Copies of this chain bind each other. A is one copy, B any other.
Amino acid sequence: MAKKYVYLFREADGNNKALFGGKGANLAQMTKLGMPVPPGFTITTEACTKYYEDGRKISKEILDEVFATLAIVEKEANKKFGDPENPFLFSVRSGARASMPGMMDTILNLGLTDISVEGLAKQTANPRFAYDCYRRFIQMYSDVVTGIGKDFFGRILDDLKEEKGVKLDTELTAEDLKELIAKFKAFYFKSQGEEFPQDPKKQLEGAIEAVFRSWDNPRAIVYRRMNDIPNNWGTAVNVQAMVFGNMGETSGTGVAFTRNPSTGEKKLYGEFLMNAQGEDVVAGIRTPETIDYLKQINPDVYNQFVEICGKLEAFFHDMQDMEFTIEKGKLYMLQTRNGKRTAVAAINIAVDLVKEGLCTEQEALLKIEPKQLDDLLHLQFDQKAIKKMKPIATGLPASPGAACGKIAFTAEEATRRTANGENVVLVRLETSPEDIEGMNVAKGVLTARGGLTSHAAVVARGMGRCCVTGCSALKINEEKGTLTINGKVYTSEDTLSFDGSTGNVYEGAVPMIKPDISGNFSTIMSWANKYRKLKVRANADTPADAATAFGYGAEGIGLCRTEHMFFEKDRIAAMREMIISDTVEQRKTALAKILPMQRADFIGIYKEMHGNPVTIRFLDPPLHEFLPTKAEDIAALAEDMGIPVEKLKDKIASLHEFNPMLGHRGCRLSVTFPEIAEMQTRAVIEAATEVNKAGGHVKAEIMIPLVGEVKELRYVKNVVVRTAETVMAETGIKVDFSVGTMIEIPRAAITADEIATEAEFFSFGTNDLTQMTFGFSRDDAGKFLEDYYEKKIFESDPFKKLDQVGVGALVKIAAEKGKSVRPDIKLGICGEHGGDPSTIEFCHKVGLTYVSCSPYRVPIAILAAAHAAIKNS
C-alpha cells in the first residue's frame, strides 16, 4: 500500500505531532472535540521530508492525494475550489512538530482569481470585502511564494491611501481596492515577467511548496539551532477552508491565552480586531481591543469562547494560546497550542494546574522548560525600559544576567576601582586566567573575542557573572584606555550596560530589576527532587561558590578546580616560585608556602557543604598560564623574585607549547612533579581532619585529571594514598577519602575497564572530551563553527549540547566498561554540559550517578533531572 501523505482533520491522529505537526494535530483534536473548526486537511511532515529527498520537488503522488482530499472537503461543504460564481477559498499554513512561532509563512484567501473575485463579490453582496481578500492574497502569495518583499506592496498601498486622502485601509472603497489590485498585479508582472497565477490549483501547489521551502529559510535554521530542533523533522502543511474576519463589523479575528503568559494569572488574556484578517492584529496600524471588549459587544460568542477555553485546558492540561475568527457573528477556532510563557508564569501555571487538578505533579514539571529558570536566577534589565533603547553592539550571550557599570580596561583596574566603591564592567579583547579577580569583582564581562566556551564565558558562567563575548564591533585600545564602537569613542568615565541573555550592549545605564521568585519556585523544586534519579552537584572553587550551590540545592561538589585558587594575588607568587624552581627541594619549599592557603580553602568549602561529597581536582592547567607574557610584567616579576630577567625569560620560553591544550598539564604535571600531588593531598586531608575534629563528616574525593592510561593514574594515586596515610598516621584521625579520575581523554574512555581497576569514581570532563573527540579547540572553533551551522553540518554547538553520537558514545562505552570492572563505581559529569537539559537526559539514560554544573544552574539541572526521570520511567 502506498504511504498516505494527506489526512482530513477528522482522520488525523491528534497525538501524533511528529507526523501532523503541532498545528495539524491540534486542529484534529479540536475537530474531534466538536469545536467549530473550518474543514480542511493536513499534509504530513513526511511529505516535507520527501520533498527534500526528491530534490525539492513535490511528487505527483502527493499532489494527486492533495486534490483527492480537497475534493472530499469540497463535496462536504458543497462548494467548489476555483468556482467562478462561489469560490471556495483556503488558507495554507505551516505547522512543525515543535512550535516555531513566526518562523514560517502563511497564505490566506487562496483560490481567488480575477474572475472568481467577482463571483465572491456577488455571492457575498460585498464587493469591498471580495477585493480586500484578493489584494491581501496577492500580497501574501507574492511574498511567500515568489519572494517579492511585502514592503513593495505596502508602499503601493500607502501611495494609494495618500492619493485618496485616507488614513486607514478600511477607509478605502471597493473601487479603490480594485484599483489597488490592478497596481499589485502590474507590479507582480513587472518583477516576475509573468501574470499573477490565475489557476487555483497552481496557486495551491505553489503555496504548499513555499511552506515546504520555508522550513529551510535562514531564520528557521537559526531558530532550530537555538532550540535544539533537528533539521530533518520537516514541517506539515495545513490547508483549511477560509472563514472571514473582514466581512464587516460583525466579523473579527484575534488571538488569546487562557491564562496570562507573563504572570501566569488565571484570567483570559488576548486581543482582537473587528472587520480584520489575522495579519492586521499584529500589524499595529489599528489598536486591537482586549478580549473583555468582546464580552460587551457579543456576549454569546464571548461565552462560547470561554467555554471552549475551559474545554481546551481540560483536554490539553495546559494553558492554551489560540487563534479565532468571528464571521458574521459566528465563532471559528483556527488554532490552539500550549502557550509560550515567561519563567515566572511557567512556574505559577504549573503549580496552579496541579492545584486545580488539571494535571499531576509530573505532568506539571514537564511543562516548565528547565533552561527558562535561568531567567529567575540573575539580575535583569527592566524590559519596559529596554524596549525603548537601541543596542550599540551585539555579541554572544555567554552568561545570563544584566550588567551595568563604568568601563574598566584591565582586571587590575576593575579590582582597584571596585575597592574604591565604583561599579565597573570589565571590557577586554579576551580574558586570561590572570584576570580572574577582576572578573569576580566586575558587574559583568564584555569581550571582543572568544565564543560561548571561551575563558571569559566559562569562568563567568561559573561565577554567575553576566558576560557577553565575541562582540566584534568593539575596538579596544588598552594603552590609550579607549573603546570605539561604530566610530564613537568611550573612556573609563563612560557607562555601558549589557544583557548576557541577548548579547545586546547599550550605552549608559539601563534600569534593572530583580525578578520576584515566589513560593511556587520552591514547590517546583521539591516536586523535582521527589522524581529525579540523578543527583545534582555543583562546580565550585571557593567557599562562596559552595555556599551558593548548597543554597540552590546542590548535593555535593562535582568539580573543585584547585588552580583557580592559585591565581589569586597572594598565592600566585608562591606558585611562580614553585614553577621556576630548579630542584625538588626548591619546589617543595615553594609548595610549603601554598599548603596552608590551600588547606584553608578546603576547610571553607567542606564547611559550606555540610558533609556532602566534595570532588577536588588536582592541578590541571599548563604551568605557563601562571607566568606573565608581556616584557614589562616579566621584568617586574624577575625583580620581585630576585632572579635575572634572562633566567625568567628562558623558563617561560622552555614552558612554551605549540598546543597547550594537548601539552604538559593535568596528571602529567604530577607525574613530572609528584611533590605537587603530595602537597595537594596534604591540604585535602589536613583540612578534612580539622573539619572532622569540629564535628564535621568530610567526604573528600580526590580527582586526578587528564588520565589517558591506567599507569598514569596508578602512579599518581600511589603518591596520593601514601601521603594521605602519612598525614592520617600523624594526626591519628581517619578521613573518608577516595581517588578517582576525570574521563576527558578519548583513550581513557576506550580503556575505561583498565582505568576502573584504580579509579573509585569517574567524572566525565566533557569539555576536553569534546575537544579531543572532535579535534576542536574550543578557543578556536568559533572561527569556523558558523560555517558549519550555515552549511547544516552541525545543528548545535557541541560545547553546549553534548554530541551524543560521538562523544556520547565514548561516555557510554566508558560507563559500561567502568561498571564491568567496578559495579558500584560512582559516575558523574562535570563539563559545561552538566547544566544542559538534553545532556542531563542523556546522563540519566546512560546511568550516571550525578551531574555537576555551575552553582547558578543547579535548579535547572534539578528540574532537567526530574524531566529525564519522568520521561524515561
Contacts and interface: CB of A to CB of B under 8 A. Distances in A.
A807 interface: yes
Given A659-B659, A661-B659, A777-B658, A806 B750 contact: yes
Given A747-B773, A750-B809, A807-B747, A793 B660 contact: no
13 contacts: A658-B661, A659-B659, A662-B777, A708-B775, A711-B793, A711-B794, A715-B793, A747-B775, A750-B805, A750-B809, A751-B805, A751-B809, A772-B773
Q: How many copies, total?
A: 2
Nearest to A430: B658
A807 B746 CA distance: 9
Interface in A111-151: none
A659 B671 CA distance: 23
A746 B771 contact: no
Contacts of A779: 657-659
Interface stretch (A61-69, A348-356, A784-792): A784-792
Nearest to A792: B711
Interface in A743-783: 744-747, 750-751, 754, 768, 771-777, 779-781, 783
Contacts of A792: 711
A706 interface: yes
A471 B309 CA distance: 82
Nearest to A779: B658
Nearest to A754: B805
A668 interface: yes
A651 to B, nearest CB: 13
Contacts of A774: 708, 745, 747
Contacts of A775: 661-662, 706, 708, 744-747, 768, 772
Interface string A661-680: 11110001001100000000
A658 B659 CA distance: 7
A709 interface: yes
A773 B794 CA distance: 22
Contacts of A768: 775
A457 interface: no
Given A751-B805, A806-B750, A777 B663 contact: yes
A806 B660 contact: no
A618 B763 CA distance: 38
A454 to B, nearest CB: 10
Contacts of A664: 780, 783-784
B709 A794 contact: yes
B746 A773 contact: yes
Contacts of A662: 659, 661-662, 771-772, 775-777, 780-781
A164 B745 CA distance: 68
B663 A780 contact: yes
Contacts of A709: 793-794, 806
Contacts of A793: 671, 709, 711-712, 715
A552 to B, nearest CB: 33
Interface of A: 657-664, 668, 671-672, 706, 708-709, 711-712, 715, 744-747, 750-751, 754, 768, 771-777, 779-781, 783-784, 787-788, 791-794, 803, 805-807, 809-810
A313 to B, nearest CB: 42
Contacts of A803: 747
Contact of A788 (B671, B773, B776): B671
Contacts of A788: 671, 712
B659 A787 contact: no
Nearest to A808: B750
Contacts of A809: 750-751
B745 A780 contact: no
A806 B671 contact: no
Contacts of A784: 664, 668, 671-672
A791 B718 CA distance: 12
Given A715-B791, A750-B773, 16 more contacts: A657-B783, A659-B660, A659-B662, A659-B777, A661-B662, A661-B777, A662-B771, A662-B776, A663-B777, A663-B781, A671-B793, A709-B794, A746-B746, A750-B806, A751-B809, A772-B773
A855 B102 CA distance: 61
Nearest to A663: B780
By Cβ-Cβ distance, the 6 closest A-B pairs, closest first, are: A662-B777, A659-B777, A747-B806, A746-B746, A663-B780, A658-B779
A747 B746 CA distance: 9
A754 B793 CA distance: 13
Contacts of A787: 671-672
A275 to B, nearest CB: 50
Nearest to A768: B775
B810 A780 contact: no
A780 B659 contact: yes
Contacts of A780: 657-660, 662-664
Contacts of A663: 777, 780-781, 783
Nearest to A674: B791
Contacts of A806: 708-709, 746-747, 750-751
A430 to B, nearest CB: 10
